[in-house]
Each structure stands twice: as C-alpha cells, then as structure tokens.
Structure 1
Amino acid sequence: MDPDYSAQDIARCDLCKVAIVQSYCDFCHVNLCKPCIGEHISDDYSKHTIVPFQQRRSTPIYPKCETHPNKTCKFQCKDCNILLCSYCLASKQHNKDHELSKLEEIFNQKKDQIQKDREELKLQLLPAYEDIATELENKIASLDVDYNKLTTELSKHREELHREIDIAINQREREIDENKVNHLSILKKHLEEIKQLQSLMQETIHSLNEKEDSNEVTLALKTKSSAILNTIKTGLEKLGSVTCLNEEEIWTSGRTAGDIKFFNTEGVLQKTIKTKSGEYPVDIVVYSDGALVYSDWKKRTGYKLKNDQTEEIIRLQGWRPSQLCVTSSGDLLVTMITRTNTFKNPEDLTLVSDAPTQERINCADTNQEWI
C-alpha cells in the first residue's frame, strides 16, 4: 500500500500479518483472518471466544472462581458481597436464600455509567474550564496595558500639581504597582488551579476511555462515578468577598458597585442588597444567627442587616472601617484605617460586643492600636 495512505490502511490479521481481519478473539484480544482461527484456538478451544470483528470486545471476561479455578463467576451474592460460579450455587456451602445478581447486568450498568461520566466531563465540565482559562489568560495579557494607562494619567497630573500633591501621586503610583503585582499573582494562581483541574479531567477522561474499551468485569466493578462541580455566576465585575453561615446560604460582594448578593447552593440569586453609601463594601461577614454585617468605607460606618432591617452598629471619627471578623464568642473584630499627613496607614482593630465597653490594644512598635 502507498505509504502516504498508511493511516487509512484496514486492519490486518495479527497472526499472518497479511490477510484482512475478519474475526476477533474476545479472550486474547487478537485480530484474526479465517485461515488463522484454527491455529489460534488449537491450544485450548474452550477458553477462546471468537466473534465477528465488528462485535469485538462485546463479550464480558468473567473472573475466575477462587473456590473452583476451572469455572468463571457469573453471579454476585448481595448478602455476602462475593462472586459465585455455578458450582458455588449448586454446593451446600452457600446460603440458598441469599439474593443474587447477574454480573452481566452489573457490568452493563457500569459500562453505561462510565460512558455517561466520560461524556459529561468531555462535553460539559472540560469546555467550561477551558473558557475560564481563556478568560484569565486574556486578562493577564491585557494587565500591563490597563495599568500603564493608570500610570500615564497620574504622570500628567504630576506636572500640574504642587510639590505636596506630587508626593501623593508618587505614593499612589507605588500602590498601583503593588496592586498590579497582587492582581497578577491572584490571576496566575487561579489560572494554575484551573489548569490543574483541566489536567485531572483529561487524566480522568483517558482512564474512563480505557475502562469503556475494556471488557474486564472486575475493572468495571471498581469504577466510581465522577463528582459534579458547580460554578456560581455572581454577575459581579470584580468579586471581593464571599461569606456563608452554612452550606445553603452564600453572600458575595464586588469591588465596583454597592451590591451585596445572596445565592443558594444552586447558584440562584435570592436577593440583592444596596449599601447605604452606594459604594462597594470593604468586607462582609455573617453572625451565627444569620445576620449580615458589612463595612461602609465612605460613611465610616459598620451596618448589621437582619430580617431586611438595617442597623448601624459602629460609626468612626477620623477612621474608616476595613476588614471584619466574627469571633467564636460572637464578638465583631473591625480593622480601622486612617491616613496621616505623611500618607502612612496606621491601623486599629476594634472589638465590638454587647458589653457597654470596648477593648483597644495599642502596638507601640508599629504605631497601631487594637480595640
């Protein structure tokens, strides 16, 4: 045959290497032409299973019986969870009242489930993660351009402002560079996690392909279905915070709008809450009783929301609330930030509780206070 068309060559007999294959041994997994069948089965006719080539790998290969090595097991005892051959069933050693299952039926059910798992991974989960990976790669590719625009705009302002404003702009440039590094690190970490999941899915698909092509009953019995992953589309341009009280309630907030969204585990939006200032919340947490707390940077206030009623629980003077944490005792920790004339960022931590007093801790070596 022309070597240019070798990829299209039809299957040949594995024994003579010349004749076109017509049959297949489902026990030995060997292609056979008609003249070579006799030679192939001459060693032991009973163990070979010759089928038309188009029906190859259709005959289950049953496991050998541990008690009767010359017999194969075609049944499984549901009560004892052991494999049985016909001799086992006929003997008095096994309880006649036990419920039996045919291995052929179990084998076919497992084959169907393997095919469903492979198709689900290949057609649903893998494409979804490929889209996520592409989106992350595009963001990384455009990251330099976006941040260069910010730096250029700030440079133009520098030329028009006085010395003090110039210092502030330089500080802002450093913050942008730090944000860029942090942003890039987060995106790359996310991309790496996605690619690792993609690799695991590819390995699983490869393994399922091998199991689907195999007619080994024991291999099929050991197969377990894949876990189903769920991705929730929040609709937030930049996801900032995620918190939950239990597995049924998920609260999210972004970095571009004053929306706090509540989802169930199916990813269905239950409600959307607007912050008092209309700006995005710096952080959100949930109390053990289900009450939601968020820090409003613009209004210098912390709010508590329960049963659709909003309560102001902390208001700061000269400080702005930042990160939040609910302690095991039910108290609320609030990080407070301010800027000095030299644009440093001393931070305080306030402990808010039902008690009439609050606790403040001052860290002298870092110019910080903890309340």
Structure 2
Amino acid sequence: MDPTSTSAHMRCDLCNTAVVQMGCDTCLVNLCKACVGEHMTSDESKEHKIVRFTLRKSSPLYPFCASHIKKRCEMYCNQCDIPVCAACLRSDQHLGHELIKILKVLDEKKKKIIKEQTELKNTIYPNYQDIASDVQNRMRQLKKEHEDLSTAITKHGEDWHREIDKLVKKLKDEVDEMKNIQFQTLQNHMDEIKKKISDIKDEINSIERLVNYIDITKLINVTTNIEGYKNSPQIIEPSLPKFALGKIEGDEFNKMFGGLSSSLLEEDKLDYSMKSKEKSPEASLPFKQFIDEPEIITTLNTNYHLLYNVACLNDDEIWTTGQDSTIKLFSISQGSLLKSIATKSEYRPYDIAVTKNGDLVYVDTMDGTVNIVKNKKIQKMVRKKSWIPNGACSTTSGEFLFIMYNNDNERTQVFRYHGSMEKQSIELDEEGKPLYSSGPAGRCITENRNLDICVSDNKARAVVVVNQAGKLRFRYTGHTPAPKNEPFSPQGIATDSQGHILTADYINDCVHIIDQDGQFLHYIHCGISGPLGLCIDTDDSLFVAEYRSKQVKKIKFLM
C-alpha cells in the first residue's frame, strides 16, 4: 500500500483538522506542518525527532489515555483492564495494580489473533467447505432418492393396475360363464314350453274336428289330454350372481397400497462438529443450555456415618458408598433402600463405577483389587502387583480406566484395561514430568464424550485432562473468586452430554463446571454442603454425595 495515500486520510493528532504531513518518532505522534512547533515545545524533556510522515518509524502507535487528553499510553493495568499513561502512573489510581507494558499486551493480542486466524484457516474454513460439499452431495442424493421414490410408487401403482386388470378380467369371465350356463338352462326350458304350446294347438284343432262329427259312436270314444296340460310349466328364476363391492376406505387402502414414512429433515440430526486431529468424533446430541438457577429436585438420606461416593445405575437408581464395607442401592423416586452388597475384604470401597451392562465395579484399596459384581457374585477383576488402585470408571467402549499409585508412593498412573487385560498406561507429560501427584490421595476419574480422560487430583489441587492417547490437554486449578474464597479442593468428577466437566469442590461447598477445553463456565452451589462424590444420569441430572450430611442431592442444572 502507498503510505502517501494513507496519510491523505489521516488528521493531525493536535488540531484534528489538517492532513498529516509529519510525525514525531520519539512520541509517535502524527502532525501537520503547522503543529510541529507546538509539539516541539509541549514537552522539552524529550528529544523530539520530527520526520516526514512517509519516513516515520514502523513502531506501533500508542493509544491516547482516556483520563489525560493527548497523552499516549505505554503501560496496561490488568486490574482495571485499560491502557494507562505516565500521568496515570504518577497518580494513586493504579497503586498496587499489576502493570505490564502495552507492547506485551499487543504481542499477546497478536498471538491470539494469529492463533484464531490459524484456526479459521486450517480448521473452521475447511470444515465449512466440507459441510458445503456434504450439503451439496446430500442435495444431489436427495434429488436422486426422491426420483427413485416416485419411480417406485409409479411402478407399484402399475403393478396394482395389472393385478386389478387381471382380477377384473377374471371376475368378468366368471360372469360370462355363469350367464352362458343360465342362458342355456332357460333356452332348454323355452324349447320344452314351445313344444307344449305346439301340442296344445294340435289338441285344439283335433277337438274342433271331432265336435263336428255326426257319427255318435266316434264322438263318444273321443278323449282329450287336457288334464296333462293343466299343470303349468315350472317357472325358472335364475339366481343372478352378486358383486360384493370391496370398501375403499382411506386408511385401510393406504395400508394395503403402502405409504410414506413421516421422516423430515431435522437440523439437530446433522452433526457438523469442527474436525480436529486430536479429538475423537463426538456423538450428535441436542444442545442444552444452563438454567439460571440450578435447583435441588430430590434429597435422599443414606444413613451412612459418613458418605463418600455415588454412581448412577439408571435414571432412578443409584449406588452409594460410605464409611463401612456396605455398598447400597437406592431408588430416588421411592426414597428407599433396594439392596446392599458387602465387600469381600470387609473394608470400605474407595471408588465405585457402573458398566454399560449395569454391573457394579468397586475399588478395594486395602487389598489392592478392583472387583466386579455379576449375578450377585463378587469377582476379582484386576490386581496389579506393586500397584494400589485409587479410582475407576467404565468407558463408552466398554473398557475400564483405573488410577493407581505404586507401593513406594512415588508414582501414579492411569491404566486402561479391556476386561482383565492391560492395554495402556499414562504417567508423564511431553516434558517427562508426572501428570499426577504421587502416593495416596483423593483422586477420581471419568471419560468425557470426546474420549478425553479427566482426573480430579485433590493432592495436586487440579483437574488433569489428557486425550485418548495420553497427551496432556490442560490442567484446571480452580477459579477465582470461589464461593468461600478457599483453595480449590477437587473431589468427585463427572461429565454431561454436552462435554462439560463437573468437579466437586469439597472446601468451597460447590461444583465447578468447565468446558472440554478447560475454560471455567459456572458454579453450582445451591445449598450444597461438603460435596464429595458426583455422577450424572442420562437425562443430565446431577447427583451429589455430601460427606457430612450423608445425603445425596439430585440437582437440575441444564434445560
């Protein structure tokens, strides 16, 4: 771009009327020739370097201060989120605030913009192109399928016409055959009657001749056959066939002929998620929004001395564990205990999970096993030598994720198991540093819908999220201000249908909600006290196990 053409549209920073012709490389001010002298004497402590506008430095132009007119801002106040000038710094307005050079803010802003540009260019734009191509293909396919559908309906109609024509011909042939038979019967009957008529006429003529006879002897001996004709011929009533009309009623006829399913195009059934090489495809699910104020729907008393964990069997039944060896199954709607299971070791289970098939899995830290309850029988599923299980979850693929620390309390790993077979272990980040704190600690694990592995590590005061391959995605260390302004104390962890990660914060009496990229979204603290265990049912209702109150609270937070 020609710099002279740019200056033609710019006005002097002092008079705001004349066109820019000069510039001060020291103050980074744009000037007209008439205002050069005024600028030179405005601050004699500086060595002003006046140059033609076209020869000015390519340094960034610092913004004017909102509080001090015509003063440029070289610093930025993080607390106030505004640029500040030297005069602002000399005042008490920003005393004790975190101040950084505005060029650093500019650099971070540029990096953010470049990152967003890269995402637009490499991910979003290609994704929209793919979507447009997919829609175009769908339109072509839709046109072809509708044409095929119309052709199939026409062919089906033609088939019906052929069958109807065959049926009509068959019925008409039967009518013709019946007509011929009955007509022949009547014809034969007519022939018999005509013969009788002829015989009667002959009889009449014969009698007329005999009546005129003089010979008495012959007349006396004449006999007639009148008695044989007094019985009239039988009247034949042909039984005509009747055609029983089949009723053509709309619904029944449609069922007989066939109909179209009421399948229409629905937008929420087309999943056009942004494509990423690091993320697994997510299920196409309807979007849900947070409700303004989360509300407690149900409160269930468990009668434990202290309550630790909760796991959803279904939308009405939950498994719970407390400070004894009993795992209890409750009905939420009935508010009653359905069954109890005691651990084999008689120690309290450290964590529980429910498989896709509805089987219960529990972690027994004291004897170092992971156990599964099938058909009312407890079976040992995993025991890894020199490692102690700490947390468990069942994945969407039917596998298991376990947190374990070694006997030396020096290492902690996440293990993936298929049944009793180890398939994967996750321990270090890309720099070779441990992902998780070592030794015994409150840790819970779950899988997000994008297949990320999410671990709440109470000892590290962090939620650690890695992708399916075990690569670190982010660490979430809490949000300020917390409801009670206490340090982040993560405990139970769960994920919902939207990919949100929910973590119980025991000390702050709340639940943190973050998105699948680690950004804080909301707190849930509607009367929660000492939350420890979490689970979410298929309807996205949140269940919170409260440690001290021994209650499970069902909370609605999505609409």
TM range (shorter): 0.3 to 0.5
Considering fraction of residues, name the structure with more strand: 2
TM-score (norm 1): 0.37
TM-score (norm 2): 0.27
Considering fraction of residues, name the structure with more helix: 1
